[in-house]
Structures are given as structure tokens and as C-alpha cells.
Structure 1
Amino acid sequence: MGYDGGAFFGWARQPDMRTVQGEIERALHMVARVGDADPDEPLRLTVAGRTDTGVHALHQVCHLDIGEEALGRCVGHMNVPGPEALKRRLQRMLPRDIAIHDVTIAPDGFDARFSALERTYVYRVADRASLVDPRMRGFVLHVDADLDVDAMNEAAALTLGLHDFGSFATPNPGGTTIRDVKTAYWRRVLASPLIGDAMAMGESYRTPAAESGLLCFTIVADAFAHNMVRSLVGGCIQVGMGKRTVDWFAGKMATPLREGSTGPIAPQGLTLEHVAYPPDDMLAARAQAIRAKRTL
């Protein structure tokens, strides 16, 4: 699924607040004709990554347990399998800032959260070297500064590997801020035309691709602690603006202590782009292994 997080108070269901989980579960109970408080059919979603308020997702993954009878009620008069019927009904029922890409029967041992191998997030920035496009203000952060990308990449490189990110994140109850970062880098999107040269057909102006010139931070890890990506982005941007040094960033990595200079940057630039899983026969083993508390 994907969603525009701008009008949501994050993923997780909260009383009296509009959340992604809350909207989808409300629709699930309606299309399956199950009471929201039914103890025999709770229809609760487990998600790969619980995004914060204002954060987007392009390819989010979640699972739920649903009985054959409830799934059959989704079919109605449609001559399609239950998962396809559920997808179609959810697509019609949900608001336009949520998109259901697919619904399938999960393999044995699958857990959307614990079976995942890694998550990929991208944070998009328009700095002074970028063309600020007001149409993209909902998922791109505008920074009125000339950013030193080389210095930002020096800082980003310090996050690679297994570290305690306590300076840049807060743990869940009973959890830790230890995470294994596999990839982390800043790159500017090359300015390129929307249509390739073979299709140019002689036009004098070439429409640029929407993201041309944006500065993007891509980070891949086994999992992320609360506010971790946005705080790392904030730290890197402080380095890129010359307000902080790479040595300062290195010190925050070496001493995992949260304080005011490493708080999260604005959420709108952040998108969960991808969640990777192992082969089907390794799903259960992965889920079992990742439930263990991380240590250094």
C-alpha cells in the first residue's frame, strides 16, 4: 500500500485521531461486515514500519488474520477470489490519500514486521541548488541554504554498520536504539527530461522529470527506532549548512545520548520506499531471530 501521510497522525491507531491504521481497519470491518469490537474477528493490522505523523509511504506492507467466512463476505456477487475482492472493495472504500496496491494470501510464517530483512527510507530536500516546485511541497522539504553534500556524506558514512543510535532516536518500551544500517548516502537527482531523446519529436522544450535536481538521502537498515531517520537527516543538514562539523556528528554517534541538537527534522520529506523479505522458507526463522533484543 501507499499513503500521503500529510493528513494523518502517523500509522498507529489512536483514539479520536485520524491515522492510516485506523482508516484501513474501519474500512476492513465495513467490507467484511464484522463488528469493530468482535473478539472473534478483531481484524487488526500488523505493519512493517510504523510511520510517524506526516511521514509518507510508497510501498508499505502489513498483514492481518481474517477468517474464511469474513473474506467470503467481501466477494459478494463478484466472480473473483477473496483477496482480489477485498482489494477492490478497500480501494473503493478508502480515502484518496491511501492506495491499496495488492492483497494476497501470506506464506506460512510471514509476519509483516518481524519477517522483514530491511526497510528503505528516502528523504527529499530542495536546497538553493534545486528548483523549488510548489506542487511537491507535501513530500519535499525546502531548505533555504547551499548544502555541502560532501560533508553530509561524510556524516552519513558514520552511520553504517551496527550502532546504538541513542543520540538520534528513542526506544520503544523494552526495546533499544541499536540498529544495523546497511546503506546511507546523499545524492542529487540528475536533471533529466521526462521523455527520452528517442521520443523527443523535435520539441524545443523538454519537460524535466519531477524530481530533477532534488537532494535525496537514502538509508537502508534492518529496522528503525522512533524518529531515527528524521533525526539523522537533521544532523546531516546541520553539517551541510556549516552549523555543525563532521566531528560533532561523529561524537554523537560515539556517545548515544539524546539532547536538543539532534531532534527530528520536519516529516514531510520522508517516505518509506521499500520493505524487503527473505524467501518464503526463511520467513518464520527470520521472524524468530529478529524478536531477540539487539545488543552491540
Structure 2
Amino acid sequence: MNELIRVRLDVTYDGTDFSGWAAQPQRRTVAGVLTEALGRLVGADTVLGLTVAGRTDAGVHATGQVCHIDLPVAAWEALDGTLVRRLAALMPPDARVLAAVPVPDTFDARFSATFRRYEYRVADTPWGPEPLRRRDTLGWVRPLDLDLLRQAAAGLIGEHDYAAYCKRKEHGTTVRAITALDWRREPDGVAVATVQADAFCQAMVRSLIGALLTVGDGRRDPQWPATLLTLRERSSSVTVAPAHGLTLVAVGYPDDPAEYARRAEATRRLRA
């Protein structure tokens, strides 16, 4: 049996032309193009065990995605120091691996993570998104009041059941802990929401943004988004914001590698 080494990959991509992260038959996905490129380097039959921190939906971008693979030691030794450059030559221009580093085999890109952080960009300027940012910025025709957005966001922070904002999966929990949710204005006038949690349900971030935008433009009361936390099923009054405004910007892990396994065990218990 070949001895294996675990490698952490830091990945960035423009999600516009991808059908999300997860590999799907007959569809172009980030995992698909990454696996294909790795297969050309280490052999298509090599089982990589590709595991990602968060499966982004179709159209969602990432500047701070993290995944791990398990490579035969001989393959890693042959590629060490050149893997990032070689992958750049094999992958399409809308996806790149920024770093590849060996990690302990207790590291799990998904379950060892302590947080995921997303940003959502909204241009409520009269001219809409700048042409060079049109792929990652939503145009909003109504002016947004950041004070109202912040008031509404404050009511969503903490550990709650976010069933009203999630696409429920069988046997999955919709309880999550949001540690940060705030809005800022960039120098170019774009409103940017930052949301951070231990993990997110499918469509949760975009649902939260969709609800908050109706507060920011004056159509809903700032207390309304928090009132939905009493629901135990998805709310039909929440509109999911378009995917292209959302970017996964960071995934956090314990500073001490000795904590990887403990964090992964705790996360598995929580998700169960």
C-alpha cells in the first residue's frame, strides 16, 4: 500500500461559468477541473479524497476556499515546490490554486474549520456595478440605508435555528452560530456585507442577504428578519439574493495543528 501525505490547497475561482463546487456529470464544476488537472499530474486513477471546506453554489465565487487531498508520498516528492505552477498551466483561467502545503493527516478541510467568512457586494449607485466588477457585484435599483441594514443584521447574530433561511436537508440541522454580520461602504460606494459563522446551510447566506436588502431599501422593518428565527421551516417571504454577488473570502482553522482532530470530532457531533 502506498504511503500517503495530506496536502492543503488554497483555491480561488470566478464562479460565473461553474455549476458550483461539487463534481457533477456533464457539468463544469470547480472540483471537476481541479480533479482533472491533478489527475494529469499524478495519474487519473489516483484516489485523491478531495474534501472541501464549503461547497459553493453555482455562480458563487471564492478567494479563500480551502480543500485537502491525499497524495502518494512519491508523487508529492516529485511535485513539491512546483505543484502550484504546474496546476496553473493545466487549469482554466477562472480557477487557480494559490498554495499547496503538507498538513497533518488529522487536518480536515471541512470538519476542522472553525469558521467560514463570506462577503456580498451590492451596488446601489445610479450607474450600477462598475463594468470590471459586474461578475461579483449585484446591482440594486433602490438606495440602501446602511444604518437600517446594520440594525437588521444585529438581530440575526448568535446561535439560532435558521430554518427560515435554509434549504433543509434530511437528517441535517439548521442550527448555526453567526459570529459576525455587518455592512460597510467601500470607497467606490458599493455596499458590502460580511457574514461569518461556524458553518452555513445551503442558500443560507444569500437568503439572509435577500431579507436584509428589503430592510435596507425601506420595504421591511429592521426587526422583521429576526422574527423569522421563530419559524421551523423555510419562509416563502424570503427571496434568495443572486449568486454572483457572493464570495467565500476566508476559512479559519485552529492555530495549533494539535487541535485539528479535536475540532473535527466536535464538528461531526454538532452536525449529527
Structure having the higher strand fraction is 2
Query: Given the alignment, which residue of 124, 128, 131 partners 2:125?
Result: 128
Match of 2:7 in 1: none
Looking at structure 1, the residues matched to 198 and 132 of structure 2 have their Cα atoms a distance apart, in angstroms, of 33
Q: Aligned Cα RMSD in Å?
A: 1.6
Amino acid in structure 2 at the alignment position of 1:68: V
Counterpart contact for 1:131–1:213, Cα < 8 Å: no
Aligned residue number for residue 218 of structure 1: 194
| 1:89 to partner: Cα distance | 1.4
Please tell me whether the aligned partners of residues 175 and 293 of structure 1 are also in contact (alpha carbons under 8 angstroms). Answer: no
Q: Which residue of 1 aligns with 2:137?
A: 140
Distance 1:83 1:169 in 2: 41
In the alignment, what sits opposite 2:5?
none
Structure 2 distance, partners of 1:274, 1:281, is: 21
Q: Distance in 1 between matches of 2:258 and 2:193?
A: 33
Q: CA 1:131/1:285 → structure 2, altered by over 3 Å: closer, same or farther?
A: same
2:15, 2:89 → 1: CA distance? 19
Residue 56 (structure 1) aligns with: 61
Equivalent position to 2:243, from 241, 263, 267: 267
Structure 2: gaps spanning 5 or more residues = 1-10
Q: Does 1:13 align with 2:10?
A: no
CA separation in 2, counterparts of 1:238 and 1:270?
A: 17
The structural deviation recorded for 1:172 is: 3.5
**2:71 counterpart of 1:94:** no
1:116 maps to a residue whose letter is A
Paired positions, count: 261
Alpha-carbon distance in structure 1 between the residues aligned to 2:193 and 2:35? 32
1:65 aligns with 2:70: yes
Match of 2:101, SS? coil
Specify every segment of 5 or more residues in structure 1 that has no aligned partner in the other structure, as ranges.
36-40, 76-81, 192-211
Are residues 129 and 120 of structure 1, via their aligned partners in 2, closer, same or farther at CA, if it must alter by over 3 Å? farther
SS of corresponding position for 2:149: helix
> 1:131, CA displacement in angstroms?
6.2
Secondary structure at the counterpart of residue 60 of structure 1: strand
Partners of 1:128 and 1:257 in 2: how far apart?
35
Aligned partners of 1:31, 1:263: CA distance in 2, in Å?
43
Distance in 2 (alpha carbons) for counterparts of 1:130 and 1:105:
46
Equivalent position of 1:291 in the other structure: 268
Shift in Å at residue 231 of structure 1? 0.4
Q: Aligned-pair distance for 1:289?
A: 0.4
Q: Is the 1:183–1:219 contact (alpha carbons within 8 Å) kept by the matching residues of 2?
A: yes
Change in 2 beyond 3 A, CA 1:103/1:287: same
Choose 1 or 2 for highest CA Rg.
Answer: 1
8 A Cα contact 1:2 1:58, kept in partner: yes
| Equivalent position of 2:257 in the other structure | 280
Listed as ranges, the matches of 1:230-241 within 5 Å are: 230-241=206-217
Q: Distance in 2 between matches of 1:172 and 1:54?
A: 21
Q: Provide closer, same or farther for how the CA distance between residues 188 and 129 of structure 1 changes in structure 2, counting only shifts above 3 A.
A: farther
Q: Distance in 1 between matches of 2:158 and 2:126?
A: 31
Q: CA deviation at 1:173?
A: 3.5
Change (3 A) 1:291 1:130: farther
Q: Would the alpha carbon gap of residues 217 and 284 (structure 1) be closer, same or farther in structure 2, given more than 3 Å must change? A: same
TM-fit CA distance, 1:294: 4.9
Aligned equivalent of 2:174? 177
Contact 2:142–2:217 (8 Å) recurs in 1? yes
